[in-house]
Structure 1
Amino acid sequence: MTESALVLDGRRWTYLEEGDGPLLVLFHGTLSYKEVFRPQLTALARTRRVVAFDWPGHGGTEFDPAGWAVADLVAAAPRLIEALGAERAAIGGVSQGGAISMRVALAHPERVEALVTMSAGLDPVGPEALAGLAGLGEVLASGTEAERRAALVGHQGLFHTPGWVEAHPGEAAAELERMLAHPRDASIAVTRLPAGYESIEERAAEIACPTLVIWGEDDARAARGPRMAELIPDAELCLVPEAGHHITLDAPDQVNGAIGAFLDNLNEGERR
């Protein structure tokens, strides 16, 4: 597994990469990080070139100090695919990563071979969650290190199935340190970006590529999964027990198995 970077519009995007073959590009969620996909990079590289990016304002990816919007990320994704030397790719991600990927499939269908959404709905999160996220951003931007750490510890519990943090102290500590390492001066823009989403439920039938919809059963919004699988024409649903929002860490083996089988079916179809 290698860590690399590419430059888009004068700004660096950092990513992890492993494997050879057709391209699979993965994007993480708000305040997360590319390493959340380490289990998938290792497992899925047997048949794919797997790349996981940091979003702007996360990890080593640079950002526009004036801010950025959902539309900017949607526009960037196909250009990242091109910068990696591919015409199209399977794309997906967790939470914001899945939400952006669905919008890329709508806006740039010629670039998207297939879609994998995890912990991502067709509709935005509610106002209470958005307010909580914005408040967290204020603390991350201007709080002391102790205040920032305490705020993220509270937020971290929302990411995972109950008991995961206690059962995986090493991974939980690494996750916390990676979130604390995000640049302070990006915190406000990062945590307010989700307020810019609009529902795409009425356009779900326009998603033309094969789609895998994955939810952890312990995710607060998991009930949206069956409806998504009904609305997206060529979609299959995978509900994972004992998994929360950060499903790639909560249930890596189940996620790897589901995505691997989905991609294998795509490969079989290409060979016919």
Structure 2
Amino acid sequence: MTPVSLPAADELTVAGRRVRCRIEGAGPSVVLLHGIGRTLDDFTAQRDLLARDHRVVSLDLPGHGGSAPLDGPHTLPALARAVAEFLDAAGVTEPAHLVGNSLGGAVAMRLAADDPFRAASLVLVNSAGFGREVTVALRLLALRPLGRLLLRPHPAIARRTELAIFHDPAYATEERIAHALAVARQPHAARVMLELVRSLGTVRGVRPQWREELLGAVSALDIPTLVVWGDRDLILPAAHLVAARARLPKARTHLFPDTGHMPQIERAAEFHRLVRQFWSGPGAG
């Protein structure tokens, strides 16, 4: 497989750190937050659709893709603070629609809980935070020294990871596999991934302490929330949507059939329609 670099993007310097980002369109602000070990490119289709009438802001989280790592440990609160600093630097001073996939959903919730004014709404896409169960591939990363071995850049590992993310294997394209390999080859990628995995979970699964605190804080907020899931998710099971309904009873929910961990890619048009309808509803505009 021919090595590739990350796709071209914008760049901002925030608190002395390089942040790879894309800022497009005009209108109400939308912030797109990707999952662990991923990049802003997971939202390319949605960015293109939403930028027609929104100001769409997406970024590589600290230590992911082309963004420099933090000086201190990479934890959920640290990522949320870094996103807040980035939004200030990008001129997003009004409440924005926060859209987060996987870890990005937990970052969005943490950001909203810490500073509710920043969130006009929450769209949580197969989000971390609603249950203990998580793919064994992530649980094994908590084991030393196995974690670093599993994170070595290798085409077979990149291919297996992409195939696990999508229900339809056609989405695990050679381009996406090459991109995943380029991400894994970033000098800070393995360290950041291990710090996050070990702060959020153990070999037994996602830690309950941070989940309970975060969901308690978010449930107390008066922020319109949409939670969506793919029914064939192999990373975070769709049963977590049941937990989301119980913990966030005011939230709207939607289950995409025959869909994996990234409905924003596998069901791009339907996802876009659903989100736009949610935002046009009472209280979410």
TM over 0.5: yes
- Give the paired residue count: 259
Confirm whether residue 212 of structure 1 aligns to residue 215 of structure 2: no
CA distance in 2, matches of 1:67, 1:149: 28
Q: Give 1:139's match in structure 2, choosing from 119, 141, 149.
A: 149
Q: CA deviation at 1:50?
A: 0.8
1:181 is paired with a residue of what secondary structure? helix
> What aligned pairs does 1:144-155 form with structure 2 within 5 A after superposition?
148-155=154-161
CA distance in 1, matches of 2:280, 2:9: 26
- Give the percent of matched residue pairs that are identical in Structure 1 and Structure 2: 28
Cα pair 1:211 1:236 within 8 Å, conserved: yes
Q: CA deviation at 1:139?
A: 3.2
Confirm whether residue 156 of structure 1 aligns to residue 162 of structure 2: yes
1:211-266 Cα shifts (integer Å, max 9, x gaps): 11110111142122133134325411011111111222211112111112112236
Q: Give 2:81's match in structure 1, choosing from 29, 50, 75.
A: 75
CA distance in 1, matches of 2:264, 2:198: 24
| Stretches of structure 2 lacking an aligned partner (at least 5 in a row) | 1-7, 201-209
2:233 is paired with a residue of what secondary structure? coil
Confirm whether residue 93 of structure 1 aligns to residue 100 of structure 2: yes
Q: Which residue of 2 aligns with 1:56?
A: 62
Amino acid of the residue matched to residue 132 of structure 1? L
Amino acid of the residue matched to residue 266 of structure 2? D
Amino acid of the residue matched to residue 19 of structure 1? G
Q: CA deviation at 1:121?
A: 3.7
Q: CA deviation at 1:201?
A: 3.5
Amino acid of the residue matched to residue 194 of structure 1? V
Q: Which residue of 2 aligns with 1:253?
A: 269
Amino acid of the residue matched to residue 246 of structure 1? M
Instruction: Output the aligned Cα RMSD.
Output: 2.4
Instruction: State TM-score, norm by structure 1.
Output: 0.85
Q: Which residue of 1 aligns with 2:280?
A: 264
| Stretches of structure 1 lacking an aligned partner (at least 5 in a row) | none
2:148 is paired with a residue of what secondary structure? helix
Cα pair 1:25 1:91 within 8 Å, conserved: yes
Cα pair 2:130 2:243 within 8 Å, conserved: no
Q: Which residue of 2 aligns with 1:13?
A: 19
Confirm whether residue 118 of structure 1 aligns to residue 119 of structure 2: no
CA distance in 2, matches of 1:30, 1:265: 30
> What aligned pairs does 1:11-50 form with structure 2 within 5 A after superposition?
11-50=17-56
Q: Give 1:185's match in structure 2, choosing from 185, 188, 191.
A: 188
